[in-house]
Structure 1
Amino acid sequence: MRNVKITLIALALASGTTVAQGKALREGDRYMCSWGAGTAARAQELKLAGVSLYAARQKIQRYKFDKSWMRMMAMGITEQTYDSPSRLKPTAVRASFYEECVRYKLARK
């Protein structure tokens, strides 16, 4: 049953990606979605490895970010990831986050 759910999620993500690619997305938005997806995937890796939220926050604080908005965004994404009961693999979390972010950005236009 679990494999069926994962397969359905993957198919939904794949079909949604092709629809989203048909519309224009700014390079900055694409970068933000990609960066956020990577952050969510890393947070999921830490969560599945048994690292506490406190330790994950400490790792974020030690990391040097390129842009000023990234640190707080990384904190928020990490907290949301830890609050979620999801046990999906990090690659699935990355794909899901990216798809939802692109969908959100396109809906705002």
Structure 2
Amino acid sequence: MDQKKENTLSYEMEYILEGKESDQQNLEAVVKKLLLMRSGANYLYLLTDAGKQAEAETLAVSLSTAIALPVLTGLVKQAILVAWAFGEAVMDIRALLDGKTSCSDQDS
């Protein structure tokens, strides 16, 4: 009976979702999916926030002008928004893995 206990996975919900052989593989697969979903949700939010759009536009104009290709401003802006959304998603997932309910939780 003890041998069966040793072979059980700690991340059972992750196993149900992914079906991998080890806890680490299951957790990694779930984290990747969460990161993708959070990045998408964050990007959609950034597309609706006029203030954040303006910040990204300002940075995009500056970068595009600095490399002497102002025609790329729109593309650079979208790249900035995608990177911003991904960065926020990473922070969200790190907070989740640390057991916090949100990034704004204070360290105890």
Q: What is the TM-score normalised by the length of structure 1?
A: 0.34
Q: Which has the larger radius of gyration?
A: 2
